[in-house]
Structure formats: structure tokens, C-alpha cells
Amino acid sequence: MRNTAKLLVILLVFGACFGIFAACEPKPDHEHTWVNGVCTQCDAEYELVDYVSQLKLDENSSTEKTAPGGAELVRMYIDGDTTHFNVPVTDKHPEGVLKARYLAVNTPESTGQVEPYGKVASNFTKKTLQDAIANGGKVLVESDSDEWENDSYGRTTAWVWYQPEANADWRNLNLELLQKGLGFGSSVSENRYGETCLAAVEQAMRAKLIVHSGVKDENYYYGQAQEITIKELRTNFEEYELVKVAFDGYVTASYDGTSYVQQYDEEDGIWYGISVFYNGSGSDIKKALAVGSHVRVVGTAQDFNGTWQVSGLSYNIINTKDPANTFKLDDEIHDIDPVVLTIAQFNANRTVDVIDHTAESDEIVYVPKTYPLHTLLVGTRVKMVDLIVDHTYTTPSGTSKDAFTLYCKDSSGNEITVRTEVLNKWNEETQRYELVTADEFECKTITVIGIVDWYNYDNHNEYQLRVVDYNDLIQA
């Protein structure tokens, strides 16, 4: 009996101790420090909740919805939190375009003054929707309430849903941007899916994902240069005079130490251009600015004889991919077609949204401004067909001796000036280059490919086409 009691006591003590040890989970020897969902000390991964898969689309709700569609629905991709969609013409959308500003999320800028991770977020939104459509999925846009509502800039605030593939469950792209840390929360709790969006934002902040990580965007230059688009440089140049700027674009022409770089703006449907002066720069910069290159340009914006250019380029030969360098972004040769225009279109007014630098706001504010289209296209390569050469002029002396001007009209009598550099053409018989004269084009009908240029003489401002290659003057 006494032995039984002892055994019972031993078992109770052992059981108690076992219970204590069993109840104690092993603890890490440090507090996790998360960066992009991974502990910097032990490589543990943050257990992320997929809120996107939990949120369901109620197709029978009272909210407004676009008919599910594919490529025919998406009109154009703007940036991470803005997409334009084709919709039926209504009083709310008189042009048949729903300019959707994604609810609850604010991604970094990529269309004016570029911000860190702005292009990352923009590329994610574009690729996600493109891949969904390519895989047979659909896209749907939903209002937050029983009717479409606009923000203060006239954009429709909306939820964007997509199917990753045909017949797949709907996923909410606004929520996904928040969940992946590609944007900051914006009035998160004040909308239809606020609770879920708030949970996604808080998780992204705890796991320190992307915009919350404190890690620098490897494709963004954090130095003294201002990351902008060519459109922003073209429409607000006074804000950047003598400022070091950085942008990317395609080289479409080059002549006498100057290359012309263009960048396409999805929202405006315009190629914006700028001249980049590289004469005196090293050979690496000259190679980077060869025609057909997709290039990153870093240099100083400045006024030059009444027009605008970027110069003062730098190059670090030790680190060729230094973001302070001007360098090629890939090794491909890109053939960018010239913008085909009539003279009437060249001179017509065009309204675009530009950054308002006088606005007192934490967010970038855009305002509509109207310009003659040619003022926006300076530095851009364009093409005009069936121009009739009315008369010509050849420069008799000086540094431009033998360059000539063609004064052209179209069939409606609209006029435009075509100015050439000194041109030469290859003569097969003599096997030599020979000077091209204006006589060859007198009273002829021609197609012209040239760079939009601004010329001032006798206080008269004129927008013209500048031709730098004989092959860009094509006789009918």
C-alpha cells in the first residue's frame, strides 16, 4: 500500500512536469525583425493571410458594375491605382470611358514626378490584368455604393475585380495591391470592403512589405536628380530649369551631338519628346544614345536659345549601372514608328492633365490645360504625307550654309515649314556622297519624317519639322 502511494506521487509529479513542458512552446531567441516578409535574423517567413481569396464578389449586390469583359473592356493602363475602361455612353460617362481611381489604395506615382516603387506598382497592375485576359479571365469594375461616384479630379472611384483565368474566382485588385505592400491605405475604413482592406494594410505594415519595408527601390535614383516623366518636363519645364532630372525613353533620332528621346504617355496617347545634348560626353554615353536605344537619361534641364534640352550628362565607368549614369536599359534596337499627323492635327488644340505645382496638397494635384499639339510634340519624330513644296530657301553662308528650308502646303492650303540640316546622299555612279540641294524638291509632292522643332526669328515663333537625314524626304 505504501509503495502504491509512492508510485502515485511519482506519477503525479511526473505528469505535472510533463504538462508544464508540453505547455511551453519553444520561443525564438530574438524578436523577429521583418523586411519584405522575411526575418532578417533567422530567415523565418511571415505567415501571410490571403485576404484576397477570402473576399468574395457579390454579383447580385445593388452596386453598379460593368459587364465582365476582357481586352475590349480595358482602354488603357495609367499607373498602379488608375486604369481607364471602355463602358457604354451614359450621363455619368459621356465619352464612354470610365477613368477608374482604385478605392482604398494609393500607389506611388509613376506618371509625373516618379516616386520609389511607382513603376513597380504600375507594372504589377498592368501585368495582372493583361495576364488575366490572356488566360481567358474577365475583368469587372464595381462602384462602392448604388451609383458611380467621382473624386475631386473627375475620376470614378471604383473596385476592380479580375479572374486569373477562365471561370476562376474573382480577385479584388485594390485589396491585392494593399496586401502585397504595393500601396498605402487611403480612407480605408470609409468604404464597402473597409474591414478587409484595413486588415490587409496592417498585415503589410507588420510584415514590412515593399513600400513599408524601408528598402530602397533598386530601379529608383535616390540621388540629387528628380525622377520625372518627359511629359512632366515638357509641360512644367520652368519648375526644372537648371535642375538635375532623370527619365527613360527611346532614342528616335540623332544629329550633331544631340539625340531626341521620346516617352509614351498612356493617358494622353501622346509621345512626348526632349532633346538631349551629349556632345563632349564620353563614348559610353554616345553609344547609349544611339538611335533605337531604350535609355535612361540623367542630366540638367536648361533653356537653350529659347527651346529646352537636357545636357551635362555624367557616366561612372566603374559602375556602369549606377543610376546617376545615362545608360541603355537593354541591348535591343527598338524601331519606334513616327507619329503620323496632318498639318491641321499638328496645329489643333489638345487638352491634357498636368501637375499643378501651386496646389497646396499632400497629394499630387492635376489640372487640365490646353495647348496647340505641336507645343507638346517638340522633340518628337512625326510623319506627314502628301505635302506640296511651294517654294524653298537655301542658307547662303555661315555654319548652316547649304542647309535649306521647304515651305510646304497640304491640299487644303494649310502651311508648314520643313527645315533641313546639311544633307548628303550616296551616288552609285561616282561611289561618293554628294550635296543635296533644295532644287530636287521644288514644286514636288513629298512625305516628310522629321523632329518637331521650335524656331524663333524676328520675334516670330514657329513650330516646324527638322529633317536630319536625306532618306526622310520621300518624293511621291
CB atoms within 10 A of CB 371: 15
At 343, the amino acid letter reads: I
Distance between the two ends of the chain, CA-based, in angstroms?
A: 121
Q: What is the CA radius of gyration of the chain?
A: 30
CB-based contact 382:338 (threshold 8 Å): yes
d(CA 258, CA 261): 10
Active site residues: 101, 109, 155
